[in-house]
Structure 1
């Protein structure tokens, strides 16, 4: 095996929620090819991921493309319709349907299947409409013909290794057609934020970044907590004078190369979710920077705001009033 190499992923900016997920998805996929793979972040016109692995810069996109095709072989959830069972387009599944799917792992693929089952939803809690409580990263559920699980499948089937290369090394040109997962602040297409009517302006995206980001989802499992559910990395709080609960996503940046398992642990640090973040304490745990974005619901779509760096005296309310 060749000597481990360092590859700077210049297309990915750690302050961008989609790019951060794409970096994690890259680490997760590369780790299946190289158990010694590590990821760190370094300042280079923003926080950029530095991948350590036995894959060189030119090998990375085509090898990732092949591995992602294998990883997409996990069967997706099904739901019952009047004409029989079909692939579910969204996570609008009953607890029984979801539980059946979670238990249906194909032989030899049990671990991969379990990771996906834990990350999409939990069968330990039920919504008021009788469906499973799902991930805080779910951004769509059928409105405007945008379907969450269907977008997963389309991304898995149609992303090329050239699109992966654009995502990894840039520049991001935003020339690809949908689907996208609405994890990029750029996907927030409200009228007030656009120079023309967004309903007549087809959304463009960076498909490779969405495909890589999809593979990061298993690093953010959904867990039942008391009478609620929580997704790793997310917290919800009532704000003074605001009726709705605000949902925030906080993620760390680290400079020491970490394995996939160590990264998983860092993402779940409770200290990251405090309203007032103690940066000095987190620095002792290896965290160099902290970013926080708010999840908004506009016209039944969920979007994420641009992230802000979180400091010791910052509060959620002060950051995003």
Structure 2
């Protein structure tokens, strides 16, 4: 793009759901505080390894980009208020009240409405009629003291993780460093902070590990900056009631229920720089799997991550590719 600065985002792997949601959160944050930058994203199809490239106004360097991302996250994080609820366990009446309340909050860009509309619909109800269905990306319901709404409120507001290391070797990390690592560096996942189980690295099934993965001495940590951005990115993935086999279920932008009832989330890999609004359109395109349509839209591949259960916990897999011309 002539007249634009291009930044390769080496931290954002193409087959990681957390990374893709962090990418959405980055664009949403920049649109909030720097709309004049005209932020766009393409993928480095001809320059492996495959990564997204951010295109923005000429003269915007990495430091300015990270600073703006932090500003955007902090502006939007203040709206992550969930009525002191810890979990996505709402009755239809409670859900309707919360959704109505979100429409009455005056915020620039309608973020509050988008955020609540990504959590549930009062029309998609559990079989017993007591609760509404939560977004399929809610992978925690209190098991192991993991509470989704509590984390969705706290993670984006926590600007930096606790110091890394132990004793005198403990190193403080700034907000800018944390976000910069998530965007521009291969993830080392050094942070002892909350996550959302959207990173396939968090799948701690015993059969795959040499040691007990729940042992605090060996338990995996996370990439805090990525989780902050992804918490904002969730607002992009609107949910809505859909009819499936004679029953109203909760559908999600980019999501799909398989014949066996399992849930998968799909996202495209495209060539040309496009905006967040355009990405949303691609996620909801009815012919995303059609080879001719994908070729016409400049889509070279579609990645698909699957939601899985491991004991009482839920995780997502690495996203498998669906080849396209």
Pick the TM interval, shorter chain: 0.7 to 0.9
Query: 1:76 matched to which residue of 2?
Result: 81
Structure 2 alignment gaps of length 5 or more = 160-174
The whole-number CA distance in structure 2 between the counterparts of 1:117 and 1:259 is: 22
Q: How does 1:1-321 map to 2 (within 5 A)?
A: 4-35=4-35, 36-43=38-45, 44-54=47-57, 55-78=60-83, 87-105=84-102, 106-109=105-108, 111-129=110-128, 130-159=130-159, 160-200=175-215, 201-226=218-243, 227-239=248-260, 245-272=261-288, 277-311=289-323
Give the superposition deviation at 1:157.
Answer: 2.0
Query: Residues of 2 paired with 1:173 and 1:238: CA distance?
Result: 36
Q: 1:109 to 1:301 in 2, by over 3 A?
A: farther
Once residues 132 and 186 of structure 1 are traced to their aligned partners in structure 2, the CA distance between those partners, rounded to angstroms, is 29
Structure 1 residue 297: Cα displacement: 1.5
CA contact (8 A) 1:126 1:132 kept: yes
- Give the direction of change, closer, same or farther, for the CA distance of 1:204–1:75 in structure 2 (3 Å limit): closer
**Runs of 4+ displaced beyond 3 Å:** none
Offset of 1:109 from its aligned partner?
4.8
Kindly state the Cα deviation for residue 59 of structure 1 after the two structures are TM-superposed: 1.0
Out of 119-128 and 53-62, give the one that drifted further: 53-62
TM-score (norm: length of structure 2): 0.85
Is the contact made by 1:89 and 1:147 (CA closer than 8 Å) also made in structure 2? yes
Unaligned runs of 5+ in 1: 79-86, 240-244, 314-321
Question: What does the per-residue CA deviation read over 1:90-146, in whole Å, with 9 as the maximum and x for residues that have no partner?
Answer: 111112222222222433357111101110111122113511111111111110011
C-alpha displacement of 1:300:
2.7
Where 1:103 maps in the other structure, the secondary structure is helix
| TM-score where L is the length of structure 1 | 0.86
- The alignment of Structure 1 onto Structure 2 pairs a total of residues equal to 294
Contact 2:34 2:68 in 1 (8 A): no
- Superposed CA deviations along residues 31-55 of structure 1, whole A, max 9, x for unmatched, are 2233321111113433211111233
Post-superposition offset of 1:183: 0.8
CA distance in 2, matches of 1:148, 1:235: 21
